[in-house]
Amino acid sequence: MPEITYREAIHDAMVEEMRRDPSVFLIGEDIGTYGGAFGVSQGMLEEFGPERVVETPIAELGITGAAAGAAMVGMRPIAEMMFSDFVLLAMEALANQAAKARFMFGGKATVPMVLRLPGGSGTGAAAQHSQSLESLLIHIPGIKVVMPSTPYDAKGLLISAIRDQNPVCFVEHKLLYKSKGEVPEGEYTIPIGVGEIKRPGTDLTVVSTGIMLHRCLSVADRLAQEGLEVEVLDPRTLRPLDTEMITASVKKTGKLLVVHEAVKTGGWAGEVIASVSESDAFNYLDAPMRRLAGKDVPIPYNRLLEEAAVPQEADIEAEMRALLTNQY
């Protein structure tokens, strides 16, 4: 299979779906001539024209409201937020309209829209452009929340998201745009709500996604040289969450660590841990379930402080070792 970047995988998914289905269109700020804040939509204006690559003013509520309305009358919009932080400006249209319309109309209305959200820290973009807000989004019934970690997953999940009949928040970590991976040519999909075991192991279950998944995999590979086998799971979708995959792994290893960049308080790690505590996997545990998350602070601009605010490989290794050696 050819190797492409995460950015290219998202671009290809949008282009292929727009070629296949004339109801699919892209809407957002600077997505046309400029090619998007992170270059994901480069070349799309030239191919599809301004009626299907719709440039907007700086108005996130308007973008999301327009997408929701278009979706309810038969279109399949892909709305891009320049930074995921700006979804806070769009919450009325997203949470009160798009998320609830299908329920309130008894299933007679559908809202097949995708909201693309570049998020996360690591680029020096400071407190208002570096947040991880996926935990906020999973709290809203009616919204699906997808967070791919690899180019392969990004393309397959975005195609599934575009074809879904419900609003999908598609969270893209900014540090992953340049990462590369094998992606098959042509059409394929990945079901929303199905996670994947990225690294099999027997001694500890680690659940993570986004950039944190890659840090967890790096640490797990180092620990394997010492005979410590960590199983690393990528839920890929945070809502719906693949609890069956997680509980099956915990039954095998007896230990669980959840790692995410979002702040600890109210983070989705708590939901993963709760799902295990409410299942029969709880009876297989031989250590407390633990979570490693971002600190409860705004993301600093200073590079060293920014790194200190979210888990790094050294932090992940310390947590893994603590559980593996019962030194928690």
Which positions are annotated as active-site residues? 129
| Cα–Cα separations (whole angstroms), residue 54 to 33, 44, 78, 203 | 11, 10, 10, 50
The DSSP result for 215-236, as a single string, is: HHHHHHHHHHTTT--EEEEE-S
Burial (CB count within 10 angstroms: exposed 0-12, middle 13-18, buried 19+), residue 284: middle
The continuous run of DSSP H or E covering 63 comes out as helix 60-72
Angle 268-87-57 (CA atoms, 0-180°, nearest 5)? 165
Tell me whether strands 144-146 and 237-239 are parallel, antiparallel or unpaired.
antiparallel
Q: Is 76 in contact with 98 (CB distance < 8 Å)?
A: no
C-alpha 271/C-alpha 174 separation (Å) is: 24
Which helix (H) or strand (E) segment holds residue 251: the answer is: helix 243-253
Buried b (16+ CB within 10 A) or exposed e, 32-45: beebbbbebbbebb
Phi, psi of 163 (to 5 degrees): -85, -10
Please write down the long-range contacts of 49-56, taking CB distance under 8 Å and 24 or more positions apart. Answer: 51/25, 52/18, 52/24, 52/25, 52/26, 53/25, 53/26, 54/25, 54/26, 54/27, 54/28, 55/28, 55/29, 55/30, 55/31, 56/27, 56/28, 56/29
* Spacing of C-alpha 104 from chain mean position: 27
**Which tokens sit at 42?**
């480069």
Strand 204-208 with 76-80, pairing: unpaired
